[in-house]
Amino acid sequence: MVVAAGATPVSSRELIRRLLGAGLRRRKAEALRPRRAGQSLVRARRLSPGDTVAVVAPAGPVPADRLDAGLAVLRSWGLEVRELPGTRGRYEPLDYLAADDASRAADLMAAWCDPDVAAVFCARGGYGVQRMVDLLDWDALAAAGPKVLIGFSDVTALHQAFGARLGASTIHGPVVTSLGSGDDESRAHLRAMLFDPGQAMTLTPEPVEVLLPGRAEGVLVGGNVALLSADVGTRTSVPAEGAIAVVEDVDEDLYRLDRMLTHLLRAGWFDGVRGIAVGQLTGCGTPESLRGLVRDRLVPLGVPTLFGVPTGHADRNLAFPTGVPAVLDADRGMLALREPALL
């Protein structure tokens, strides 16, 4: 609380909002602007109980029961939750979308640019972010940020875009519909990352399998393989140069996963990568076949490589921040942050 003599008390957040509204500029290091691949991205401030967060549906329609269960989790954390208008919608001409592209983009813009909103949670993935991402007003988003953006799967396209166009760090982690059904450790890890990020530095609570030993340092980049592959060649693709790539996917035939990894390799997305953390490849093949594919496609890159990191489409889905320095210690089967996800 900040109080001057004879003045009405206001919170520190309200004071910052008023100063920014009056034209106070952020320090250059905190300004949202594009950065080179491998550089640290701008982190938002951590959350506190009482903060207002927004929920949007940037991709597919959202099952109401799973949404309500996830919203209950957010409220149990002491957050004030706002649903944007399209969160419970379905676009009838294309019923795999929550709303038309312009409406979904407008909801995300409204949530991010609201000065009272500290974080934007994506309700679910599915498909649709790539259809609307080029409708976003990047200048307006840059002026409003940095803020916290949370989601995974199709939301990988937003993580890539916010990194490429804004230089903003985001959190690859559970969507709202998975908060009510995921495991306790995933919820606890995300909550710690948001409210007490110094307590969420380890991304491998237990050692995972090592496919190529060694040690690597770099910022984290990546997400869903299908979305990373589809983003190549666009203005919103962030390559793995100078970074540790974290990759995951779900329900892809082994040959399709092979094709997408091969496309990323041929396109140069992995050029200059420092380390690779393979997350959950749920429903993509047997452990033996997946291990064989990673050995064939990624291990020849010659960088430290982990297999089975607990992030992705599984009950255990530990959040990780993009654009934040980390250490991949493949001699010990560990991946950990060097700096907290949020300030």
CA distance 38 to 275: 12
Summarize the chain as % helix, strand, coil (round to 5): 35, 20, 45
Instruction: For residue 146, give the nearest of 47, 37, 22, 15 by alpha carbon.
Output: 47
| Annotation marks residue 40 as catalytic | no
159, 172, 189, 313: the catalytic one is 313
Instruction: For residue 59, give the nearest of 141, 144, 159 by alpha carbon.
Output: 159
**Residue 19 is inside which H or E element, if any?**
helix 12-21
Question: Going by C-beta distance under 8 Å and a sequence separation of 6 or more, which residues neighbour residue 206?
Answer: none
- For 81, how many CA atoms within 13 A lie in the half-sphere containing its CB? 20
| Annotation marks residue 185 as catalytic | no
Q: What is the DSSP letter of 223?
A: E
159, 189, 237, 248: the catalytic one is 248
153, 178, 186, 229: the catalytic one is 153
Q: Provide the strand spans (E) within the chain.
A: 52-56, 80-83, 117-122, 148-151, 171-172, 209-212, 215-224, 243-250, 275-282, 305-307, 320-321, 325-329, 334-337
CA distance 300 to 209: 17
**DSSP count for the chain of H helices, then E strands:** 11, 13
Check residue 78 and give left, alpha or beta (phi > 0: left; psi -120 to 50: alpha). Answer: left
**Burial category of 279 from C-beta neighbours within 10 Å (exposed 0-12, middle 13-18, buried 19 and up):** buried
C-beta separation of 174 from 320 below 8 A = no
Q: In what order do the strands lie in the sheet with 171-172?
A: 80-83, 52-56, 117-122, 148-151, 171-172, 320-321
| Annotation marks residue 248 as catalytic | yes
CA distance 7 to 19: 16
Tell me the catalytic residues: 153, 248, 313
